[in-house]
Amino acid sequence: MIRRLCIVGVGLIGGSLARALREAGYVDEIVGSSRRAGHLQEAVDLGVIDRYDTDPAKAVAGADMVFVSVPLGAMRAVFERIGPALSPGAVVTDGGSAKASVVRDLDAALGRVPDWFVPGHPIAGTERSGVAASFPELYRGRRVILTPTAQTAPEATAKVRAMWEAAGAQVNTMSVEHHDEVLAATSHLPHMLAFALVESLARMAEQREIFEYAAGGFRDFTRIASSDPTMWRDICLANRDALLHALDRFETDLRVLRDAVDRHDDETLQRIFTEAKRARDAFNDPAESSQD
Ligand code: NAP
């Protein structure tokens, strides 16, 4: 059980965790913080948080668990504010989509990586943002990756694991570096491709006609291009090295496909599509109908 949970950044990710834990009866009180009082009042009106303070240092006072779910570019400033204001015994975790950058930001903000910090990333979300888009089932049956550092206290990791399990998630742990490589390939690269494709089509002279005739395939492939631009700018900058690696590898593979089309190489096309179909058919996502 959490006595007082503080959520810094009460948007889709933070708001959904608050709703899930409240529904599970796992938390007594939820305090929110972000820049705009209007957003926080909306969260109170929706019953997501009990009260708020736009000063994160005041919001974390007395909290036994703190969840930081602001865009990656805002993490360092939040850590600088909350670090000195935490109550003894408080555990801090986050929901940022890249992990090495968050650990670096904490180190830069406090001059060390404390034992009470448990980096985390829920592999769940939608292309929508803000507290109004949050819902309590977001994490049900979905994975959450925790990436404890060499300094992280095992009891802190256990508390964060228990919190996510109460929200309905399955928790895995891995290293910060491994997380960033895996997510660059499975999440960050697909978002780059979707953004690039839609932006490229939108620039074509006949774009209106193109979008008019766009059907299911276009919709399936490009839904994630509606994701928040600021969040994705931050993710690209935060996970630069792993993302560049994934983009370079994909560029090479795309070139193979292009050359096969150019050479009328039916065998190569058949082989690539067959292998892709086999891999995709074998991918059994319990939340196929939901979003990532
Ligand atoms: P969101 O819906 O836009 O929520 C972000 C929240 O952070 C808002 O409440 C915003 O409120 C607050 N915020 C923004 N800048 C801030 C700052 N400088 N100081 C304090 N609060 C600030 O975004 P989200 O989708 O929940 O994403 C939050 C985090 O989760 C990001 O780090 C993202 O990488 C990660 N994540 C996202 C997804 C996804 O699919 N969306 C999935 C997994 C992880 P104000 O405007 O009032 O400040």
Name the residue with the closest Cα to ligand 1, atom 39.
125
How does residue 287 score in pLDDT terms, banded at 50, 70 and 90?
low
Mean pLDDT of the 220-235 span: 93
Q: Are 145 and 24 in contact (CB under 8 A)?
A: no
The C-alpha angle with vertex 81 and arms to 100 and 37, in degrees rounded to 5, equals 110
CA of 241 to the centre of ligand 1 (A): 23
Give me the CATH number covering residue 137: 3.40.50.720
Are 157 and 191 found together in one domain?
A: no
Report the distance separating Cα 189 and Cα 209, nearest Å.
28
pLDDT in tens, 114-162: 999 999 999 999 889 999 999 999 999 999 999 999 999 999 999 999 9
Are 161 and 266 found together in one domain?
A: no
Task: Point out the ligand 1 atom lying closest to the alpha carbon of residue 35.
Answer: 48
Residue 288 belongs to some domain of the structure: no
pLDDT at 25 over 90: yes
pLDDT at 28 over 90: yes
Which domain, by its residues, includes 200?
Answer: 178-282
Report the distance separating Cα 114 and Cα 53, nearest Å.
24
Pocket test residue of 13, 36, 127, 147 for ligand 1, highest count of atoms within 8 A of CB: 13
pLDDT in tens, 34-70: 999 999 999 999 999 999 999 999 999 999 999 999 9
Q: Of 127, 142, 173, which residue sits at a domain end?
A: 173
pTM for the full model?
Answer: 0.92
Are 72 and 184 found together in one domain?
A: no
Strand order in the sheet with 117-118: 51-52, 27-33, 2-8, 65-68, 91-94, 117-118
CA of 70 to the centre of ligand 1 (A): 4
Structurally, how many domains does the chain consist of? 2
